[in-house]
Amino acid sequence: MLQDLSASPGAPSFVLPNRILTLFDAMETALAEDLGLAVGEAQVLVGSLERTITTRAWRDAGPGLSAWQVKRIEAHVAARIAFPITVQELARELRLSAGRFSRNFKARFGASPRVWIGLQRIRQAKRLMLESQASLSEIALECGFADQAHFTNAFRRATGIPPGAWRRARQAGDDLSL
């Protein structure tokens, strides 16, 4: 009966896997004979549908994280930038294993989560240096660096110049990109 529906005009343009069609048939038979058996068949069917949908979603999405996952990670990092952020914490946010999250993250961003978070900290520090008169040590702590020395070393590695020199150059009107 379901095979007829999927082939009828105006029906959705997808094909149900044979396993799902078999489960529907078994459920239909079980409903006529035993409600308890029908419930069991329905649970098996739901599990099969969930696996099929999940598999297709991953296959269709391609490598990396989806748009909603990227937004969720960006929001989480922005909210917790002043605190230590672990890969496990980010993976839990998306309900992925740490390994799968790291692989997908690197496929999407081209860098490891640790490197990307470091760059987000630097980007936030640049904003704060331009928008406030806070000291570099205050900015360092607000952006999640252990101290000013840690901040200075990370900033120099990322930009090629120390944060104080970058700040003075920006205040003088030199064009150093964010």
What's the pLDDT at 40? 66
Enumerate residue ranges in the chain where pLDDT < 70: 1-24, 26-27, 30-62, 174-178
Which pair of structure tokens corresponds to residue 72? 């969720």
Dmax over CA atoms of the chain, in Å, equals: 84
What's the pLDDT at 12? 45
What's the pLDDT at 173? 79
Indicate whether 35 and 16 sit together in one domain.
yes
What's the pLDDT at 114? 95
What's the pLDDT at 108? 92
9 φ/ψ sector (left φ>0, alpha ψ -120 to 50, else beta): beta
Indicate whether 75 and 45 sit together in one domain.
no
CATH classification of the domain holding 151: 1.10.10.60
Indicate whether 19 and 57 sit together in one domain.
yes
> Is residue 178 situated within a structural domain?
no
Indicate whether 55 and 9 sit together in one domain.
yes
Indicate whether 71 and 49 sit together in one domain.
no
Indicate whether 97 and 125 sit together in one domain.
no
> Is residue 177 situated within a structural domain?
no
What's the pLDDT at 99? 94
> Is residue 134 situated within a structural domain?
yes
Angle at 141 between CA 143 and CA 148, to 5 degrees: 105
Indicate whether 125 and 80 sit together in one domain.
no
Domain count, the chain: 3
Q: Tell me the angle at which helices 148-159 and 163-171 cross, rounded to the nearest 10 degrees.
A: 70
- Cα 76 to the center of its chain, rounded Å: 10
d(CA 130, CA 162): 15
Indicate whether 95 and 131 sit together in one domain.
no
What's the pLDDT at 88? 97
What's the pLDDT at 45? 63
For residue 103, the enclosing domain spans 67-110
> Is residue 176 situated within a structural domain?
no
What's the pLDDT at 43? 67
Indicate whether 126 and 142 sit together in one domain.
yes
Indicate whether 91 and 45 sit together in one domain.
no
Indicate whether 137 and 162 sit together in one domain.
yes
